[in-house]
Amino acid sequence: MGESTAMSPKITGELLRQLRQAMKNCKYFSEPIQAYIIPSGDAHQSEYIAPCDCRREFISGFDGSAGTAIVTEQHAAMWTDGRYFLQANQQMDNNWTLMKMGLKETPSQEDWLISVLPENSKVGVDPWIIAADQWKNMFKALSSAGHSLVAVQDNLIDAVWPDRPERPSTQLRSLGLDFTGISWQDKITTLRAKMSERKITWFVATALDEIAWLFNLRGADIEYNPVFFAYTIVGMNTIRFFVDLKRLSDPAMREHLQLDSPSKPELSIQTFPYESVYTELQAICAALGPKDKVWICDKASCALTQVIPKTHRSPIPYTPLCLGKAVKNATEIQGMKMAHIKDAVALCELFAWLEKEIPNGNVTEISAADKAEELRSQQKDFVGLSFPTISSVGPHGAIIHYRPLPETNRTLTVNEVYLIDSGAQYVDGTTDVTRTMHFGTPSAFEKECFTYVLKGHIAVSAAIFPNGTKGHLLDSFARAALWESGLDYLHGTGHGVGCFLNVHEGPCGISYKTFADEPLEAGMIVSDEPGYYEDGSFGIRLENVVLVVPAKPKYNYRNRGSLTFEPLTLVPIQVKMMNTELLTQKERDWVNEYHRKCREVVGAELERQGRQEALEWLIRETQLII
């Protein structure tokens, strides 16, 4: 997110001076504050954020996806993780101290604050940007050391950011039943049924993808994510929708939302300006009955959460919208399948083109990524990329979050392994696929590692497991073959994928980290992406998006039912990179069946689109292995 151009540090002395001035300025609060916390993120706790919300980047120069800055009267410190130590050091000037998270000697934000602050200090934070659960932890730690955490309503970075970009307000797109399968009215009804079941009277939605999913609307406010800035509060008889009202003037949009002629009174949407969610929620809370309960995600902003009196607040780790969105319906599954076929067409073309062009020495990481985007954009209902393409060759492949920049751009050759992790948004679905290829002759070690990764990929993809199994219980299947040879990869194995929505979504996933993942259910869609990274040499990752489907094994213990995965991604896995002797017969059968399906399904589409060269490439790359 956010174009990072050069790696020279941002000069921040004057900015920090102004910020410290603001920290003492009584315009913003009754007493000066001694420290100010600047988290990453926006008021919706989005993973990707809009330029107007890149406050931590603005004040420090550091534009990695994760980081928290804290500025005191004397210090300015930045906490980030191992992916970004080098980058943060390059982008920040001497005013900043880098706090390397994950190292033993690095203090936590709380401990550091307690060690540097004078007694009885006040620490400020924008309550819209900090999640309720983070606020709680910080509040406790500071309180027990005699300090206090205070909510500063006006953001102090905005106060020293004269040319801060406007909050985006892109055109909204409504999706019909042919794309969504369920009307927003039916989604509201389902939501209310879940609320009644748990005796909940109000629900506050703050996550942008949940709101987009609920109303069958999409926007383009945040790069790569087809969402728009909004809030929603649903009661048993009312629906309040908070959004820039200009966006609702289009007659088709008004019709979609039935703004002028609601079918039933309880499905009438009341619209409000985006900014009025706070006062409106206050008004709702002022009128709550003694038994009224309000659902809000425990990761929602502290600002909105604290509007709800504690006795009425029912925080939940995952909202019913998050859970409903995760289980795709038949229409969404059909759309995702179509999107993946189109995506495979583009990738087959890309790989056929690379095979031809690389020997000429004119293809770079950036031009390959651009070519991939160009080919995807020719496909029906293409909207944009679903994340910045990771196009990496040789040693760059070992940098897990690598993104080619003009100053790092490397030429693809027949001597190095090429890893491309890319995806797109189509109106019918979202894709995310990684393939690792060699366009010359891979070394025995490269093939060996690739084959272990493939074995792990297959072990997850072909696993049969009981209904209700949590994804984290499958993570070790992806690693067993690597472990057996003393190898491993230091990232999770899979994440939830939205349907023309965010490429990363909860509440399910496959990871060794025990987070509160929800059980896998038929209809959920996750990625399966084990890897291996040899620092300074090459990177390997094999990623398919897979659909959770019912399995029908021989027995059915306690009638629990079983599940397995069906690959949605249909792009050949390079046989040249495999050491097929290391594969079991079952694994070879899996590869052959997968390639048969790629050839059948994607081949038909390539033929229909008249893309002959890519079709020939596909046929060559899907020969049987024995």
Binding site residues, its own copies, CB under 8 A: 463-466, 472-477, 479-480, 483-488, 512, 514, 551, 553-557, 560, 562, 584
Shortest gap between Cβ of 469 and its own copies (angstroms)?
Answer: 8
Nearer Cβ to its own copies (260/535)? 535
DSSP class of residue 577 equals G
Nearer Cβ to its own copies (263/514)? 514
DSSP class of residue 37 equals E
Nearer Cβ to its own copies (551/577)? 551
Using only C-alpha atoms, what is the Rg of the chain? 25
SS3 label, residue 470 = strand
Nearer Cβ to its own copies (73/448)? 448
For residue 74, how many other CB atoms are within 10 A of its CB?
Answer: 10
Q: How many residues are present in the chain? A: 626
Exposed/middle/buried for residue 324 (C-beta within 10 Å: 0-12, 13-18, 19+): middle
Shortest gap between Cβ of 251 and its own copies (angstroms)?
Answer: 48
In whole angstroms, give the CA distance from residue 268 to residue 600.
47
In whole angstroms, give the CA distance from residue 127 to residue 394.
44
Q: Tokens 């050391």 correspond to what residue? A: 145
Verify cis geometry, omega within 30 degrees of 0, for the bond prior to 507: yes
Nearer Cβ to its own copies (464/619)? 464
SS3 label, residue 471 = helix
In whole angstroms, give the CA distance from residue 39 to residue 49.
12
In whole angstroms, give the CA distance from residue 598 to residue 402.
28
Shortest gap between Cβ of 86 and its own copies (angstroms)?
Answer: 17
Query: Distance between terminal CA atoms of the chain?
Result: 43
Shortest gap between Cβ of 470 and its own copies (angstroms)?
Answer: 8
Shortest gap between Cβ of 442 and its own copies (angstroms)?
Answer: 17
In whole angstroms, give the CA distance from residue 243 to residue 172.
11
Nearer Cβ to its own copies (384/519)? 519
Shortest gap between Cβ of 484 and its own copies (angstroms)?
Answer: 5
**What is the 3-state secondary structure of 374-407?**
HHHHCCCCEEEECCCCEEEEHHHHHCCCCCCCCC
Q: Which amino acid is at 367?
A: S
Shortest gap between Cβ of 513 and its own copies (angstroms)?
Answer: 10
State phi, psi for 76 to the nearest 5 degrees. -140, 120
Q: Tokens 């969404």 correspond to what residue? A: 332
Cβ atoms of 577 and 539 within 8 Å: the answer is no
State phi, psi for 370 to the nearest 5 degrees. -65, -40
Shortest gap between Cβ of 556 and its own copies (angstroms)?
Answer: 5
Nearer Cβ to its own copies (290/486)? 486
In whole angstroms, give the CA distance from residue 16 to residue 11.
10
Nearer Cβ to its own copies (279/514)? 514
Nearer Cβ to its own copies (272/512)? 512
Cβ atoms of 175 and 500 within 8 Å: the answer is yes
Shortest gap between Cβ of 46 and its own copies (angstroms)?
Answer: 28
Nearer Cβ to its own copies (356/560)? 560
Nearer Cβ to its own copies (108/476)? 476
Shortest gap between Cβ of 187 and its own copies (angstroms)?
Answer: 25
Shortest gap between Cβ of 490 and its own copies (angstroms)?
Answer: 8
Pairing of strands 505-510, 494-496: antiparallel
